[in-house]
Amino acid sequence: MAQHIRFIASLIALSLCLPTLLSAHDNPLRTLRAAAVNNDDDDGQHGSVKGHVVTQDGRPAAFVTILVKGTDPSTRTKGTTTAEDGSYQLRHLPVGEHTLVVSFVGLQTLEQAITIQPGQTTQLDLTLQETARQLDEVQVRGYKSANQVPVSVGKVAIKPMDLPQSVAVIDRDVLDRQQTLRLSDVLMNTNGVYVMGTTGGYQEEIAARGFAFNSSNTFKNGARYNNSAMPEISSLERVEVLKGSSAILFGNVAAGGILNLVTKKPRFDGGGQVAMRVGSFGFYKPSFDVYGGITQHVAFRLNGTYENSRSFRDEVNGERIYVNPSLLIKLGNRTEFLLEADYLKDNRTLDFGIGAINYAIPDLPRNRFLGTSWGYIRTEQASSTATLTHRLTDAWQVRATGSVQRFNNDLFGTNRPNASNQLIKTNGDWVRGLQRTGINETYWIGQVDFTGNVSTGRIKHTLLLGADADQYRTNTTAYNPLAVYDTVNVFNPAKFRLRQDIPTLTTRQLTEAPINRAGVYVQDLVALSEQWKLLAGMRWSYQQTSSTVTTLADKKATTATTFDDAFTPRLGLVYQPRQTTALFVSYANSFAVNTGVDIAGNALPPSFINQYEAGIKNDLFNGFLSANATVYQIRNSNLAQTSLQNGNTNTNIKELAGEVTSRGLEIDVKSKTMQGISFLAGYSYNETRYTQSNTFVVGSLLRYNPNHTANASVFYTVQRMGFGKGVQLGLTAFYMGERVAGRSTRVTVANDAYRLIPLPAYTQLNASVGYVKTRYAIRASATNLLNALSYNVHDDNSINPIAPRQVSATLSWNW
């Protein structure tokens, strides 16, 4: 961990030193500081310009340089780069005529005159030509629809309209308007992707289409991210979701989809923000975000936050620190180098909720806490990512990424209720034991992608060729548990005198679990005509999984290693009867590595999962509204379950005798802003059942997955001139349908005591209001206005109630 802290410190120091190293005569930081004074566009002397830059074929032009031409000291160093969706903004420009110089590798440099009006933001959307001929005019286009903006996690710039797969993107504007704090808040906007549990109160377990996401399904800037800690939302530019199988791109991932967190990127236009958020239960959170150009070729960004909070749960509190520096260096007309890092320290009270009594949730107050006040979960997480992008020609690009991540976790406190055969009795008495676990994990990944466009006659190809390799080194330290610490009554905490001392638990065993993976893949989007497009690809993956368990008392160790490889194909067909409508069908295959051995003692082969998907995507009303619908079936027809041969009862001896089938429907609607109004909505239906099993009841539902989810958000911004201009209103509704937890009934056990726990459906209603000006913003939000009650449950031993009604307010200052 120390090396990550030194790395972040070095990066910050480099950001401060580069002006002196790279510019002996001109100090742009002086200009940035000068520009920070009196930069309110409402002063009648200044204005702004914003818009989108696209290429000739309508694709977003990311990282395009936009500079203000001239020798006026107030504008000479003014500039910015476009974001990955092609958007840009230049603030605090003097009123009058200016010339924007727009340039990027492989695209014709453009000079465009612009008139800045006092106190106004001018909309200027630009199209850059890819030919060498002189431009005669500038094409003006509106904002792109949700079906036109590619997602970066797809590795190649394919518009969602051309992709035979369901895609969802939640951008920064929605995150700000809704005042999102946790990933669960973000996922209220993504139907079919949901939080399935909040074990211990320190993580949010995610699932989609009936399949749980693990760390292999969660990404940050395209690199795998350990989701055992709650990610920091304030640092995100957007959240991307690719639903369904993405095994061809990333190898061993669950079938439900992948989630990519995209952090804020460096910008050449100087600016920043400081903010303070306060809320219910003693919550407060200061944050900052600073960015700017160090030279014409180097830009930086640094954002961070501190958070301190109590909880609606008695004796529960949390504290976290986060910092996210990044640096962008333009090494030439064709090459860019992006360096990103982040560090998170999260400490909070260990809270496994209220537990179940005979597989039923007891009627307890929402604030009832059954753990110890000194119990804790302490997490440190740091990552460093370097990305080198080089345009080989106007048509071909290579991108190389290397990333390293460290994750340390120390958990110490009471056992989960009902764990270790210490069940909560009918009268509420529960014998509490103690547990402790330590996790130390290091993760490395390197990947190279070649992307390009070629033509074979009249047929056009968008190609992706790539390779990746990654390693996990996970060491888990288990401690000797304390079977009996004390006894508590869940209905009457005053019934027993509770212990407050902190015993010392000795270490018991160390489990080392290295994973080595590698893969190569190729994918081609073939435009057979304007109407027909074919997406085809194949990936070969190799994975080596080991486990060494060492008993620390006698240093005895046992080691097991498995080797797996798999081919995972992808095939999809898109028909576009017109530019605004696309119908698609697709097939994809993924695999899941199995633990345990077969009846002969051999390692189990991986399970292969087949997914079929069909849908329609529409851009309606001249692109104002995107409306998409998808149906799917996902089937794991060789699910590993305990072998029943020869009366076997060893759960480590398994056979591929089970089958799980997931079927569903998803509907997504998203609008652009018109007259200050925008909205998004969605609905999903999913049914995931055991369709074949030698262990559980055939036809029974898999746990944690709701049959129905729905969401709707509407936003309004006052646009008329006057004091009311800048007022923002928002309303969000989220529905989580009925689902089950507990433990699935086993048909192989006579008089099996296992039972499923039905969880009630609920609707959460959130509201937000804001007043947003150029230099400051005041926002307030209220969540769970109806004070709905439901639970996030893992098995029958971590039953955490959802938060009640809460309010918060944020004041931010921009420059």
Other beta carbons within 10 Å of 82: 24
Going by their DSSP bridges, the two strands 625-642 and 654-671 should be labelled as antiparallel
- As to burial, measured by CB atoms within 10 angstroms (0-12 exposed, 13-18 middle, 19+ buried), residue 85 is buried
Residue type, 426: T
Q: For residue 795, is pLDDT > 80?
A: yes
pLDDT tens digit sequence for 4-17: 444 444 433 433 34
pLDDT (mean) for 43-49 = 81
Q: Do strands 46-55 and 121-123 pair parallel, antiparallel, or not at all (unpaired)? A: parallel
774 vs 48, 55, 511, 812, CA distance in Å? Answer: 10, 30, 54, 11
Least confident of 143-152, 252-261, 383-392, 718-727: 143-152
Least confident of 160-174, 399-413, 591-605, 668-682: 591-605
Report the amino acid identity of residue 229: A
760-764-770 Cα angle (round to 5): 170
Model confidence pLDDT, tens digit, residues 417-435: 998 889 999 999 999 999 9
96 touches 72 (CB < 8 A): no
pLDDT higher than 50, residue 290: yes
Reported in sequence order, the residue ranges of 392-506 that DSSP labels E, i.e. its strands, are 396-414, 429-456, 459-479, 482-489
CATH number assigned to the domain covering 263-814: 2.40.170.20
Answer yes or no: is pLDDT of 505 > 50.
yes
**Contact by Cβ (8 Å): 351, 800:** yes
CATH 2.40.170.20, the chain: domain bounds: 263-814
Does the structure show a pLDDT above 70 at 284? yes
Residue 633 or 47, more confident: 633
Q: Residue 264 in contact with residue 324, Cβ under 8 Å?
A: yes
One-letter identity of residue 295:
T
Highest averaged pLDDT of the listed ranges 201-210, 408-417, 587-596, 746-755: 408-417
What SS3 state is found at 41?
helix
> In which band, very low, low, confident or very high, does the pLDDT at 72 lie, cut at 50, 70 and 90?
low
CB 781 within 8 A of CB 805: no
Instruction: Tell me the CB-side half-sphere exposure of residue 789, using CA atoms within 13 A.
Output: 8
- Separation between Cα atoms, residue 304 and residue 702, nearest integer Å: 39
Cβ atoms of residues 382 and 342 within 8 Å: yes
pLDDT class of 31 with cuts at 50, 70, 90: very low
Q: What is the pLDDT of residues 356-410, one digit of tens each?
A: 999 999 999 999 999 999 999 999 999 999 999 999 998 899 999 999 999 999 9
Residue keyed to tokens 């260990």: 350
Q: State pLDDT tens for residues 118-163.
A: 888 888 888 886 543 333 333 333 346 778 777 888 888 888 889 9
Q: Percentage of the chain surpassing pLDDT 90?
A: 58
Q: Which residues contact 295 (CB under 8 A, 6 or more apart)?
A: 18, 19, 22, 23, 28
Q: What are phi and psi of 233, to 5 degrees?
A: -80, -30
Residue 794: pLDDT over 70: yes
pLDDT at position 769 over 80: yes
Q: Which residue spans of the chain are classified as CATH 2.60.40.10? A: 36-128
Domain 152-262: which topology? Ferric Hydroxamate Uptake Protein; Chain A, domain 1 (2.170.130)
Q: Is 80 exceeded by the pLDDT of residue 35?
A: no
Q: Burial-class residue 497 by CB neighbours within 10 Å (0-12, 13-18, 19+).
A: exposed
CA proximity to 179, closest of 260, 234, 231, 230: 234
Q: Is a pLDDT exceeding 90 seen at residue 213? A: no
Does residue 598 contact residue 644 with C-beta atoms inside 8 Å? no
| Pairwise CA distance, residues 190 & 321, whole Å | 27
Strand boundaries in 264-395, DSSP class E: 271-279, 283-293, 298-309, 318-330, 335-349, 376-391
For 156, which DSSP code? S
For domain 36-128, give the fold.
Immunoglobulin-like (2.60.40)
Tens of pLDDT, residue by residue over 432-453, are 999 999 999 999 999 999 999 9
In order, the DSSP letters of 650-692 are: -TTBEEEEEEEEEEEEEEEEEE--BTTEEEEEEEEEEEEEEEE
325: tokens are 């520096």
pLDDT confidence of 73, banded at 50, 70, 90?
very low
In 3D space, the residue among 666, 667, 665, 645 whose CA is nearest the CA of residue 654 turns out to be: 645
**Residue 215 above 80 pLDDT?**
no
Confidence grade of residue 185 (pLDDT, cut at 50, 70, 90)? very high
Strand partners, 275: 287, 812
Per the rule left: phi > 0, alpha: psi between -120 and 50, beta: everything else, 795 is left
Backbone φ/ψ region at 355: left (φ over 0), alpha (ψ -120 to 50), beta:
left
The chain-wide mean pLDDT, for the chain, equals 87
Most confident of 40-44, 66-70, 409-413, 546-550: 409-413
Position 479 scores a pLDDT of: 96
Tell me phi and psi for residue 148, to 5 degrees: -115, -10
Q: Which pLDDT score, from 0 to 100, does residue 642 have?
A: 85
Contact (Cβ atoms closer than 8 angstroms) between residue 161 and residue 147: yes
The total of other beta-carbon atoms located within 10 Å of residue 654's CB is 22
Q: Are 642 and 653 in contact (CB under 8 A)?
A: yes
pLDDT of residue 107: 65
Between the alpha carbon of residue 148 and those of residues 55, 58, 156, 300, the distances in Å are: 13, 8, 14, 29
Calpha distance 185→711 (Å, rounded): 11
Q: CA–CA separation, 345 vs 379, rounded Å? A: 6
Q: What is the pLDDT of residue 585?
A: 97
**The pLDDT of residue 342:** 96
Query: In this structure, which amino acid lies at residue 121?
Result: T
Portions of the chain given CATH number 2.170.130.10:
152-262
Task: Pick 371 or 51 by higher pLDDT.
Answer: 371
Q: Tens of pLDDT along 643-672?
A: 888 777 788 888 888 899 999 999 999 998
* First-last CA distance in the chain: 34
